[in-house]
Structure 1
Amino acid sequence: MQSLPPSSSAFDSGRAAEACLVAEFAGGRTMLRRQHVGYPLHVTRGFYLDAARPDLLTLYLQSASGGLYAGDRLTLDVAAGADTSLHLTTQSATVVHHGRDAASVQQARIEVASRAFCAISSEPYVLFPGANLSLDTIAVVADDAALFLADGIAVHDPKGEGRSFAHYAARLRVMRPDGRMLLRDSGRIAGEQFLKGPLGTMAATATALLVAPKERLPSIALLARAVDACGCLAGASEAPNSAGLVMRILAPDAGALARGIEAAFHVAAAAALGVQLARRRK
C-alpha cells in the first residue's frame, strides 16, 4: 500500500486501519490468542502486572503516527473470551488534528463473554483547532461478565488564540448476546458551542461506563470521591435496565481527566475483581 504524508495536501483522504484482538483463557491466565493490527496502530507485548490477579492481561495500544488526521478511519475489534481478564489502555493522549471538512472516525466493537472482565480505558482525545472527531462503539456483554469503558476529550489551542475544534460526536450502544439493548448514549457538539461555555471553566470531559452484575459494582459515592480527588467533578447514576453504572466527568485539562479516568478504572476493577490492581505506568 502506498503511504503519503498524512497532512500533505487537501486531497489526502486519510488512512484506514484495523486492529483485531482476541483474548482467551489458557494455562491459568489470559492470553492474546489472535491479533491483527494495521499501521499506525501497534499493540505491545502482554503484561501481567498484578500479583493478586496473575491471570489479568494488560495491553497498551499505541499509535506510530502523530495522532488522528483528516479522514482517518480506525476500527478496533476486541473479543474477551469466557473467563478472561483483560485490560486494554493507550500509552498517552491522542491528538486530533484539523479535519479539513473530513471527520476522523474511530469505531469499536467489543465482545465480553461469560464470566469475563474487560476494561478499555483510553487516554483523552485532545481536539486541536479544526478537529472533527466521531466515535462509534458497540459492546456486547454477557449477563455475568463485566465491562469498564471510558472515553474522553480535551480541547487545546497551541497558539492560545481561542480557536475551537470543528465538531465532536460520540455514540455508544450496549447489548446482550441475544440482541437485547441495554443502553444507548449519543451526543454531538460543535466547537463554537463548546467555547460558549457548556462546561463552565472546564476544558475536558469523559464518560465512564461499568456494565456488571449488581454484586460486582462499586458504590456511586466511592466512585465519585475517587474521581473528584483527582481534581475533577464527577457524577454517576445507575444505567438503564440495571446494566450497571454510568459516570460523567469534567476536568480542567487533559492531565486531570486522565487521572480521573484512571481512578475510576481502579475503583471499578476492585469491585469487579475483588482485589486492588497495580498502577499502570505510562
Structure 2
Amino acid sequence: MNTRSVVDFHCDVLSKMTDNVALSFVNDCQLDVTYERMKSGGVVLQCFAIYLMEKWGHPRFERILQGIDVFRNRIVPAGMGLNWLQYKEEVKEMTNNKPWGMLSIEGADGLEGELFNLTTAYELGVRFLGVTWNYANWAADGVLEKRNGGFTNKGRQLVELCNEIGMLLDVSHVSQAGFWELTELSKRPFIASHSNAYDICSHVRNLDNQQIKAIVDMDGRIGLTFVPWFVKEGNGEITSKDIIPHIEHICELGADKHLMFGSDFDGIDSWITDLNHPGKYPAFIELLLKYYKEEQVTSWVSGNAITYLETYLPSRKG
C-alpha cells in the first residue's frame, strides 16, 4: 500500500443496484461508486453496505440475500473483476492492480430476530454488522430513537453470536446507551464506519469526545464520512477542506492510528463540492499532504483500516 491507496468503509451502491436492476457497476453515471471510479481514485478496498430501503416495506431476510446476490453477480464480476475480502489472510494479497470489496449489513432489522440468519449471512461472506439504522429494531435502539434505549435481550444474544463467529460490529447508527452497552458486550473492538466529530459539527450521528476515546482505547476505528451535514453546519458551500477540523480534533483525542474514511457515497443526495465520488480521492489526498506528513496521510486513507482488518477479520482456518 502507498499514499495513493484508499480504503473506504461505507457506501450504499448495493441498495441502488438492488432497487434498479438496469444499473451497471462498471461506469453507470447514476452511481457515485463504480468500478472505473474506484480504479481512477485508487480505492483498493470498498465496503458495500446492505441497507434495506424503507420504501421496500417490512425488512426481510430475503432482501439481505438479494443484496448479497447483487454483490456476487453484478459487482464482483464488473470491469476486470473485484476480489472479495472475507479473511485476514487475504489482506496481504491486496494490491493496487485490482480493487477489492467487503460486505456489511446496515441495520439488523432484516435478520428478522433470527440468529440463524446472522450465521447464514456470515457464511455467505458478510463480515460487518451495523446493529441499527437510525431507529429502534428488535436488537437495539438507533441514534434517533428518543428514549435512547440500549440492547434488548435478543440483541445481547446477537452480539454474543457475533463475538463467537467473528462478525465485526459497527456503531455508526447506534444510540448513546447502546454504544456504551456494546463497549461492555463486545469482545472485539468495533468500528464507527461513517461518523464524524460532534464537537466540530453537532449532528446526532457524530461521535462525542468520550465515544471517540472509547473507540481508541479498544483499538477500534472511526471512518470519517463525507455527508455534508455531518461535516459542517449551515447552508454554505462545503468543501473537502472542511473535513480537516474533524481530522484535527479526532487526532487530538489520540485517534491518529484509529482514523479512516467511510464516504457514504450513494447513500446521500447532496455532496461535498469537490468530493462527490471515489474518483476525487487523489485530489483529496493532495490536499491532506499540504498539511500533514505522508506517513500520517497514508495511515488515514488506508493503513489504519488495513491493520484493523489484518488483526480482527476472522481467519480462513477458523
| TM value normalised by structure 1 | 0.31
More strand by share: 1
More helix by share: 2
